[in-house]
């Protein structure tokens, strides 16, 4: 329908001829997952290497990193620093050849902020780039899909497309509709006739069937089978009270925009609440403390006057980061003891026993710790489960692998031979989607010790012990235990898998056998 004017380059489904290596899709500013590293000096060499290799479909280059090439059908904007400076192209294949999305190679550093209820925060949007410098904005509200295109591109600009006074030549037909041209020439430029790149015009009525089908696959309608969801909740939920507004990680702000919880601000108000209603011990353990700087969950408390007199451990396996923590914590109101250890579930009790015993010299375990924070990108839940022999924290904040939704009980396990080698190779800047534990696993393991889910943040879950549940219920207006399915559904969470995968697993029908 658009001919050669609007450039819809995404519809290629067959492989490009090897001799020409035609550019099927520009992949600048995104990250394609599953590619393999190739030591090429620049983008041109990276492209030529991919062109010569008939099995190579996609290449990407970032001068701060390297050349990566191979097969990928998942190319997305991400928070990883590679994406911000990357250039690349698809030379063969298609991102949507066949049914669904397929991973190739190894999945690394994928992270997406996912709305678990696709309609909870209004229409969904997706912006993608075209070959001619244009961008497409997709807008989905239930069954309705709209596609907008940016007014301007490399070949469409006001000087050649708009009928302005003193323009030397008549404008050429840059759009397929007079209304689109009028809108762009009027609203797509400033008073001094400069481009306004964030102005779009509606193109949905002019799309061909093939074009619409392509965009439908980019942003598909996701229907929730409420009967399946409620059956799964009834069978597998750990809690039964409807969650309060505090439980989900996201909510609608006053301005109508989505607002997510800042994980670094959660523990301080809970400490104030507890101290106002009971005698706390003023103790904490922070496992995977890093530098102890924000967004560390304990920093706000320990750096505030309410942190005066607190005593605790900062446990970290990286000596450089731990030293920075020691320096920073020296200026706070708390006493922070640096502990250079990499914990594992087999030795965790033996490793921490001397330090915890010194904190509670006149009592026997399990000791009444106030706060336990765990973020070790590995066997988090297994370590916490073992530490229950020594402590009963009033409040726990754990990083959760939210891409394994309820009711899946998932946890990375520990191997006495292989896991230490994995720890030696650990890179904090490289994500591992099979590390950590799921929300259902955590609840399943910690509920016997008396823990309930209080709330979620985009990456963490906060659990409270039954001994302080009455204080939490009266002070926060909540009722424990809360239904984790409903809390999860109303949240916006970081996932190391595509959001449509996670929602499919979450809303699927499960029988009487536990899906773990």
pLDDT digits (tens, 9 = 90+) for 399-415: 999 999 999 999 999 98
- Where helices occur in 262-379 by DSSP H, the ranges are 267-277, 299-302, 319-329, 348-359
Who has greater pLDDT, 311 or 25? 311
CA distance 22 to 201: 29
Q: Which residues contact 97 (CB under 8 A, 6 or more apart)?
A: 13, 73
Q: What is the pLDDT of residue 10?
A: 41
Q: What is the pLDDT of residue 15?
A: 34
- Look up residue 119 and give its two tokens: 């309609």
Q: 341 by DSSP, 3-state: which?
A: coil
Who has greater pLDDT, 448 or 418? 448
Which of 26-35, 147-156, 424-433 has the weakest average pLDDT? 424-433
Q: Which residues contact 127 (CB under 8 A, 6 or more apart)?
A: 135, 136, 137, 138
Q: What is the pLDDT of residue 103?
A: 47
| pLDDT at position 251 over 80 | no
Q: How many CB atoms lie within 10 A of CB 104?
A: 17
Q: What is the pLDDT of residue 119?
A: 80
Q: What is the pLDDT of residue 426?
A: 63
Q: What is the pLDDT of residue 166?
A: 65
Q: What is the pLDDT of residue 375?
A: 95
432-451: average pLDDT: 94
CA distance 11 to 264: 44
On whether the CB atoms of residues 402 and 489 are closer than 8 A, the answer is no
Q: 485 by DSSP, 3-state: which?
A: helix
Q: What is the pLDDT of residue 1?
A: 31
Q: What is the pLDDT of residue 397?
A: 98
Who has greater pLDDT, 290 or 257? 290
Q: What is the pLDDT of residue 351?
A: 97
| Mean predicted lDDT score pLDDT of the chain | 86
Q: Which residues contact 251 (CB under 8 A, 6 or more apart)?
A: 245, 258, 259
φ/ψ of residue 146, rounded to 5: -120, 145
Handedness of CA 467, 472, 477, 481 (dihedral sign): negative
Tell me the sheet residues that pair with 464: 395, 452
Q: What is the pLDDT of residue 428?
A: 62
Residue-wise pLDDT for 257-285, tens only, equals: 667 888 899 999 999 999 999 999 999 99
405-428: average pLDDT: 83
pLDDT class for 97, splitting at 50, 70, 90? very low
Which of 48-62, 67-81, 136-150, 409-423 has the weakest average pLDDT? 67-81
Which of 33-47, 266-280, 393-407, 468-482 has the weakest average pLDDT? 33-47
Residue-wise pLDDT for 321-351, tens only, equals: 999 999 999 999 999 999 999 999 999 999 9
- Look up residue 291 and give its two tokens: 């530098």
| pLDDT at position 255 over 60 | no
């Amino acid at each position: 329908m658009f001919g050669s004017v609007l450039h819809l380059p995404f519809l290629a489904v067959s492989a490009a001829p090897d001799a020409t290596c035609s550019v099927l899709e520009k992949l600048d500013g995104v990250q394609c997952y599953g590619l393999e590293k190739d030591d090429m000096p620049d983008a041109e060499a990276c492209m030529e290497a991919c062109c010569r290799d008939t099995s190579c479909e996609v290449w990407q280059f970032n001068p701060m990193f390297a050349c990566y090439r191979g097969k990928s059908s998942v190319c997305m904007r991400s928070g990883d620093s590679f994406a911000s400076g990357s250039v690349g192209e698809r030379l063969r294949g298609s991102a949507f050849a066949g049914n669904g999305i397929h991973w190739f190679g190894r999945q690394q550093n994928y992270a997406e902020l996912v709305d678990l209820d696709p309609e909870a925060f209004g229409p969904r949007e997706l912006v993608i780039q075209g070959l001619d410098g244009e961008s497409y904005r997709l807008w989905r509200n239930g069954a309705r899909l709209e596609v907008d295109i940016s007014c301007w591109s490399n070949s469409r600009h006001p000087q050649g497309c708009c009928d302005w006074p003193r323009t030397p030549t008549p404008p050429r037909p840059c759009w397929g509709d007079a209304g689109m041209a009028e809108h762009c020439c009027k609203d797509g430029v400033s008073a001094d006739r400069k481009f306004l790149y964030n102005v779009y015009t509606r193109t949905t009525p002019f799309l061909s069937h093939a074009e619409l089908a392509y965009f439908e696959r980019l942003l598909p309608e996701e229907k929730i089978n409420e009967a399946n969801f409620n059956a799964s909740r009834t069978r597998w939920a750990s809690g039964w009270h409807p969650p309060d507004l505090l439980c989900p990680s996201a909510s609608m702000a006053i301005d109508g925009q989505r607002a997510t919880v800042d994980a670094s601000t959660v523990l301080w108000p809970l400490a104030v609440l507890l101290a106002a209603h009971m005698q706390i011990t003023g103790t904490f353990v922070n496992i995977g403390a890093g530098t102890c700087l924000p967004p560390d969950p304990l920093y706000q408390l320990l750096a505030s006057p309410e942190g005066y007199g607190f005593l605790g451990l900062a446990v970290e396996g990286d000596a450089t980061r731990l030293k920075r923590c020691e320096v920073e914590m020296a200026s706070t109101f708390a006493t922070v003891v640096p502990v250079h250890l990499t914990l594992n579930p087999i030795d965790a009790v033996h490793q921490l026993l001397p330090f915890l015993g010194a904190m509670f010299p006149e009592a026997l375990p399990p000791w009444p710790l106030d706060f336990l924070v765990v973020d070790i990108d590995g066997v988090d839940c297994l370590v916490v489960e073992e530490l229950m022999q020594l402590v009963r924290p009033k409040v726990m904040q754990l990083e959760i692998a939210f891409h394994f939704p309820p009711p899946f009980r998932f946890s990375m396990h520990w191997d006495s031979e292989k896991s230490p080698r994995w720890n030696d190779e650990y890179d904090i800047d490289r994500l591992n989607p099979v590390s950590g534990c799921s929300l259902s696993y955590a609840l399943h393991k910690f509920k016997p010790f008396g823990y309930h889910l209080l709330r979620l943040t985009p990456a963490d879950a906060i659990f409270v012990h039954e001994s302080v549940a009455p204080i939490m219920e009266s002070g926060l207006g909540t009722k424990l235990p809360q239904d984790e399915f409903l809390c999860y559904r109303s949240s916006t969470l970081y996932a190391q898998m595509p959001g449509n995968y996670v929602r499919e697993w979450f809303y699927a029908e499960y029988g009487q056998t536990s899906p773990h």
